[in-house]
Amino acid sequence: MRRHLWIPLLAAAVLSASARHAPAGEAVKRPALFARENLVAWCIVPFDAKGRGPAERAEMLKRLGLKALAYDWRAEHVPTFEAEILAMKEAGIDFAAHWCPGGVTSEANRAMFALIRKHKITPQLWVMAPGPRGDSQTERVEAAARQMLPIVAQAKELGCQVGLYNHGSWQGEPESMVGTVQWLREHAPADHVGIVYNFHHGHDHLARFPEAFRRMVPYLMCVNLDGMEPGGPKIVPLGQGSEDLAVLRMIRDSGYQGPIGILDHVAAEDSEVVLRRNLGGLKKLLEQLGDAEALATYAD
């Protein structure tokens, strides 16, 4: 969608999922939305050309001033799941989310579930909803939600949230994710289920924003940034997309107050180099937004 057509403000009173799940009567004090301490590193484990291990990765995140990791992994990383948790704990970095393909039947996920219990951590579980067939959107939403009930129940037992993760296809469309979450919250019930929105899988959604984004806001658990260029490649450095400033303004004005993901997802380069490039791009965008509070955290 071209910039001159963007609607500048969304419903500012909407609370994020993190605020809704706070204990009754407890005020939720968060850093500025785009502050460095509110960023979560994402897609850095299997995409790091340097092949860092858990301890090296934790040290890298400390150098970058990042306080949280969303853990993406591949089969070769399963033996180091516990080492990753321990390295992040030692470095003071929140093990904030676990990429959870395969649900409760996955041996790798069962290994992580055991570690979640052992170490008393509560990462978000990021999952892709199924994409069942059906004659109507309503039928497909219900079928997808019913197939998710086992992982929803497992997460509740662990004290974790479940985030539907957009990765393309029907199940990655904003309307499908919102409908699936609403069904689960009404019928499971499952107030611990929400949405993780990835802009790098959302270039085709730009024409429907900000209305589609507004519908997701009450259920958002994390928003992962990317440079946004209509019709462009999936991965664009922050600050180099024609719609980046409009996207940040939209997120800010929506009332969303949860974590913000900062992306690597470039397998040919050192993750630290890619993250620094995106942090630099975010800083320039914040200068254009005039966000002095967030900018103060990028003083180095």
- DSSP per residue, the chain: --GGG------TTPPPHHHHTSPTT-------TT-GGGEEEES-STT-TT---HHHHHHHHHHHT--EEEE---GGGGGGHHHHHHHHHHHT-EEEEEE-TTGGG-HHHHHHHHHHHHHT---EEEEPPP----SSHHHHHHHHHHHHHHHHHHHHHHT--EEEE--STGGGSHHHHHHHHHHHHHHS--TTEEEEEEGGG-GGGGGGTTHHHHHHGGGEEEEE-----TTS-S---TT-STTHHHHHHHHHHTT--S-EEEE---TTS-HHHHHHHHHHHHHHHHHHHT-HHHHGGG--
**Mutual orientation of helices 107-119 and 81-91 as an angle, nearest 10°?**
40
pLDDT band, very low/low/confident/very high, at 13 (cuts 50, 70, 90): very low
What is the pLDDT at residue 252?
A: 97
**d(Cα 13, Cα 297) in Å, to the nearest integer?**
25
CATH superfamily of 3-20+35-288: Divalent-metal-dependent TIM barrel enzymes (3.20.20.150)
Of residues 124 and 11, more confidently modeled = 124
What is the pLDDT at residue 71?
A: 98
What is the pLDDT at residue 66?
A: 98
Structure token pair of residue 249: 């303004």
Q: What is the average pLDDT across 101-119? A: 96
Is a pLDDT exceeding 90 seen at residue 109? yes
CB 198 within 8 A of CB 226: yes
pLDDT in tens, 64-75: 999 999 999 999
What is the pLDDT at residue 18?
A: 41
What is the pLDDT at residue 21?
A: 39
Q: Which residue has the tokens 């009930």?
A: 149
Is a pLDDT exceeding 50 seen at residue 112? yes
